Amino acid sequence: MTQFISLFQAAIMFGSVIMFGALGEILTERSGNLNLGVPGIMYLGGIAGLIGSFFYEASTTSPSPVVGMLIALVCAFGMAALGGLIFSFLTISLRANQNVTGLTLTIFGGGVANFFGGSLNKLAGGVGQISVAATSSAFRTATPLAGMGTAGKLFFSYGFLAYAAIVIAVFLHYFMSRSRKGLNLRAVGENPGTADAAGINVTRNKYLATCMGAGVSGLGGLYYVMDYTKGTWANDGGIESLGWLAVALVIFATWKPLNAIWGSYLFGLLFWMYFYIPGLNRSSQELFKMLPYIVTLVVLVAVSLRNKKENQPPASLGLPYFREER
Amino acid sequence: METITAVEMKHVTKRFGEVVANDEVDLKLLRGEILSLLGENGSGKTTLMNMLSGIYYPDDGQIYVNGKAVTIRSPKDAFDLGIGMIHQHFKLVDVFTAAENIVLGLNEGGRLDRKVIAAKVKEIADRYGFDIDPNQKVYDMTVSQKQTVEIVKVLYRGADILILDEPTAVLTPQETDKLFAVMRNMKADGKALVIITHKLHEVMDVSDRVAVLRKGKYIGDVATCDTDPQKLTDMMVGRAVELNIDCPKAEKVTERIEVQHLTVRDKDGIPRLSDVSFTARGGEILGIAGISGSGQKQLLEAIAGLQPCAPESHILYKDEQWNPDAPADDLENQKHVHELIGKSPLDISKMGVALSFVPEDRLGMGLVANMDLTDNMLLRSYLTGRGIFADRKKPKKLAEDVVEELEVVTPSITTPVRKLSGGNVQKVLVGREIAMDPTVLMSAYAVRGLDINTSYTIYNLMTEQKLKGVAVIYVGEDLDVLLELCDRILVLCGGQVSGIVPREEATKEGIGLLMTQFRKEAQV
């Protein structure tokens, strides 16, 4: 039982990281922009939040966890959105290739984050490991219901960002399926020419969706740094591998935010399963870590075979839009 | 009904570079009437209407809506004035429902209440007799249903001046009747309608007044009840012009390609060609006339092996050993008849059929824009050569020959063809195809966009090939050229052969009439 609880908890925490990444990317891709820079953007969000809270904690003798948390949130969201802005400017205004730009952004984000993360570790001195204990504790505070036996451990023992991810998913679902602005946004991603003719500002929609989406993805990086690794930094490429899983999750969820909720937890479950299966050695573990990707492949094949229109990617995903090319 | 002017266009001119698409056009549209805008391809009908709907901006002239001088700079301006245009290519989002498409981009405020929208859509549909399910997804719709969504979309936005650009081109006769019924209801409701068309029977059927454009000029307008198809055709095509293109007779004329019951459907299942039968003869230029989009492209591509055809279709190629005088049951002779249906272009060339094709899309299907002259020549011969290496010497020689013989203006044969002018691109393409020693040469709009001299070069090349015994199929749009260049003219109308006319009997008016209305009795 304890084994099951700890697997479940690991799955939720792992899942929350990639859920943020995927939700942001769903918003972005719904506008027709394929931003493969998700890992880089999560890196940017994570490192910006860490830097913000580190300097805040270093500047006062008794840092307030709540202030540190707010600073980290604003820094993470803002920096990630800035990453989205770079992507938007290059692909929407300059019409650069989205795949290349996205991959470049991933490399860029990883480089920036590891450079500053390494520097912070050096600045922190001591054992060479930065720690923002106060801020991280704010992120990790469990809900008051956590004490309620097994159910409390299973469902109420997480930091607030894990719940925020679900709230964002539900909000995005309602936004995209029930609001006029959401309808317009989807029209831009499906058929920008039609959207343009209907008087929708294609460029503005794409910019907004991409920057906001990047901001949301960036929160995934922050959650990773503050909660998953408890307010520390390691130049181990952890965020990058989770970032790619977030991209896979977008496909798995067939571009629907609600699917991303259970999909992310499933991915977490599959990813951590190896830890709880006895008799695995270092090499056979890696086979199990492939499971989320294999499941994504299977879903992709199944969805393509069924060929249901609603489950297909946005029709103009990855394509630049020129008004003159009617 | 009282006549109130809805729209008036005065001296409207639109130029695209050197080309004058609309030259001082005056047009008047009244409330409660259906006006047909009639004209050949490229006569400027759509351009004129695009200026009303805000897609183009006139270079000169003034537009009045409801008696007031207006400036229409964007589709939104047009909507605000109550002008809505239904384009030939629908602007709909496939995965959305009819209702979602209708309200797309509207700023009505409030949340997206699908029930309220559906009720409003239903109300419009009931008023004019549309058949529409607001909750149906667009990808599940037939072409006619999609068109209905487009029209309702325009009405939902409060348009009272509607422009329909060739609305019947994609409809079956029954659907057309339904559309016309709806149009009459809208007319009775006091709306002003313009229908762009080149189908004369529809003009006679639905409209109150006809305005005719020819080569961008406004020819005039007549009340439909005072005219007939013949008079309208005369207005549309004008007088024949002498061009002095030589058309000598070839010594020997033999059957080369026999097309039987050719039917081609597009991926939506709409027939683009139906039951087309004809024979192309070596030593003859067979002209193909027709309004653009009548199936010319599909016809040539079917022969070239690029179009899937319906099972009853046959395209028989009769090679040079085939004896036209042998009896039909001569098995030896039948061996020289080859079926081309179901073969890929490579199969066809492997069968020894020398087919040359100069497609309409020169830099898309004909040549590779970013490759130089030699490499483009190589496209035809890359399979020859030693082992895995292609032979580059012969294509290089060919490129040099083509440049010299056809006087292609190019800095060198290593220049990418996209840097060449349209006429020179066409010379390269035609030069390459002719160098293949074809027995059949097909060309689509070979002189489109070319100057007079280059056009004559192309005409002469076609005639030269004909005299060599090649079966030339020439798809053209200028009737004057077709009349002088071709030995026979096949007229396509809506994917069907509406007539095959020998040169001696062909008149511009006759061909024009065949192009615009399908007449069974005219078939040869």
User: Does the distance separating the beta carbons of B92 and A191 come in below 8 Å?
Assistant: yes
Nearest neighbour of B93 by CB, restricted to A179, A187, A312: A187
Residues of chain A found within 8 Å of residue B92, distances taken between Cβ atoms: 191, 194
In the predicted structure, residue B513 carries a pLDDT above the cut 90 = no
CB of B113 within 8 Å of a chain A CB? The answer is no
- Residue A200: closest CA among chain B residues belongs to which residue? B105
- Residue A183: closest CA among chain B residues belongs to which residue? B104
Distance in angstroms (rounded) separating the CA atoms of residues B93 and B76: 19
* Residue from A202, A189, A194 nearest B104 by CA: A194
Name A95's Cβ contacts closer than 8 Å, sequence gap at least 6.
Answer: A320, A322
CB A142 within 8 A of CB A157: yes
- Residue A191: closest CA among chain B residues belongs to which residue? B93
Give the range among A122-131, B270-279, B312-321, B465-474 with minimum mean pLDDT: A122-131
Task: Provide the chain B residues 272-311 that lie in CB contact (below 8 A) with chain A.
Answer: none
In the predicted structure, residue B374 carries a pLDDT above the cut 60 = yes
Give the type of residue at A4: F
Residue pLDDT, tens place only, A182-234: 999 999 999 998 898 888 889 999 999 999 999 999 999 999 999 888 888 88
Residue pLDDT, tens place only, A132-191: 888 888 888 888 888 888 888 888 889 999 999 999 999 999 999 989 999 999 999 999
User: Does the distance separating the beta carbons of A200 and B79 come in below 8 Å?
Assistant: no
Residues of chain B found within 8 Å of residue A178, distances taken between Cβ atoms: 111-112
Nearest neighbour of B105 by CB, restricted to A200, A309, A312: A200
Task: Provide the chain B residues 53-82 that lie in CB contact (below 8 A) with chain A.
Answer: 75-76, 79
**ipTM, two decimals:** 0.85
Evaluated on CA atoms B318, B321, B324, B327, the torsion sign reads negative
* Residue from B423, B500, B494, B496 nearest B202 by CA: B494
Of the pLDDT bands very low, low, confident and very high (cuts 50, 70, 90), residue A85 is very high
Give the range among B17-26, B62-71, B138-147 with minimum mean pLDDT: B17-26
Residue pLDDT, tens place only, B430-452: 999 988 889 999 999 888 777 77
The pair of structure tokens assigned to A188 is: 């831009």
Helix, strand, coil share of chain A (percent; to 5): 75, 0, 25
Strands B217-223 and B209-214: antiparallel
Mean pLDDT of all residues in A67-78 = 95
What residue has token string 């066409």? B426
Residue pLDDT, tens place only, A25-68: 999 999 999 999 999 999 999 999 999 999 998 888 888 889 99
Nearest neighbour of B91 by CB, restricted to A179, A197, A315: A197
* Strand (E) or helix (H) holding A250: helix A238-252
Give the range among B88-92, B238-242, B347-351, B406-410 with minimum mean pLDDT: B238-242
Q: Best of B104, B152, B154 to disrupt the A interface by mutation (most A CBs within 10 Å)?
A: B104
CB of B174 within 8 Å of a chain A CB? The answer is no
User: Does the distance separating the beta carbons of A183 and B104 come in below 8 Å?
Assistant: yes
Residues of chain A found within 8 Å of residue B112, distances taken between Cβ atoms: 178-180, 182-183
Residue pLDDT, tens place only, B334-356: 888 888 888 888 888 888 888 89
CB of B231 within 8 Å of a chain A CB? The answer is no
pLDDT at B522: 39
pLDDT at B523: 38
Distance in angstroms (rounded) separating the CA atoms of residues B233 and B510: 9
**Which domains, ranges and CATH numbers included, belong to chain B?**
5-237 (3.40.50.300), 241-354+486-524 (3.40.50)
Nearest neighbour of A199 by CB, restricted to B76, B94, B139: B76
Q: Best of A175, A180, A309 to disrupt the B interface by mutation (most B CBs within 10 Å)?
A: A180
Across all residues in chain B, what is the average pLDDT?
86
User: Does the distance separating the beta carbons of A186 and B105 come in below 8 Å?
Assistant: no
User: Quick one: what percent of chain A has pLDDT higher than 90?
Assistant: 57
In the predicted structure, residue B81 carries a pLDDT above the cut 50 = yes
pLDDT at B386: 72
The pair of structure tokens assigned to A305 is: 């075979």
Of the pLDDT bands very low, low, confident and very high (cuts 50, 70, 90), residue B1 is very low
pLDDT at A258: 96
Q: What's the whole-model pTM score?
A: 0.76
| Helices first, then strands: H and E counts in chain B | 17, 20
The pair of structure tokens assigned to B342 is: 């179901």
Higher pLDDT, B167 or A258: A258
pLDDT at B520: 44
Distance in angstroms (rounded) separating the CA atoms of residues B254 and B282: 5
Residue pLDDT, tens place only, A303-314: 888 778 888 899
pLDDT at B2: 57
Higher pLDDT, B478 or B397: B397
**Which domains, ranges and CATH numbers included, belong to chain A?**
2-146+154-311 (1.10.3470)
* Strand (E) or helix (H) holding B295: none
- Residue A314: closest CA among chain B residues belongs to which residue? B95
Mean pLDDT of all residues in B303-321 = 88
* Residue from A88, A91, A316, A97 nearest A188 by CA: A316
Distance in angstroms (rounded) separating the CA atoms of residues B154 and A250: 36
User: Does the distance separating the beta carbons of B105 and A198 come in below 8 Å?
Assistant: yes
B318-335 exposure pattern, b = at least 16 Cβ within 10 A, e = fewer: beeebeeeeeeeeeebee
Residues in chain A, total? 326
Higher pLDDT, B373 or B389: B373
Distance in angstroms (rounded) separating the CA atoms of residues B132 and B148: 7
Q: State residue B324 phi and psi, 5-degree precision.
A: -65, -20
Mean pLDDT of all residues in B93-113 = 85
Name A27's Cβ contacts closer than 8 Å, sequence gap at least 6.
Answer: A172, A209, A212, A213, A216
- Residue B114: closest CA among chain A residues belongs to which residue? A178
Mean pLDDT of all residues in B146-157 = 91
Mean pLDDT of all residues in B270-297 = 89
pLDDT at A326: 38
Residue pLDDT, tens place only, B452-488: 778 888 898 899 999 998 999 999 888 888 888 999 9
In the predicted structure, residue B310 carries a pLDDT above the cut 60 = yes
Of the pLDDT bands very low, low, confident and very high (cuts 50, 70, 90), residue A324 is low
CB of B419 within 8 Å of a chain A CB? The answer is no
pLDDT at A129: 79
Higher pLDDT, A20 or B495: A20
Residues of chain A found within 8 Å of residue B111, distances taken between Cβ atoms: 178-180
Mean pLDDT of all residues in B35-47 = 83
pLDDT at A182: 93
Of the pLDDT bands very low, low, confident and very high (cuts 50, 70, 90), residue A261 is very high
pLDDT at B518: 56
Distance in angstroms (rounded) separating the CA atoms of residues B100 and A189: 15
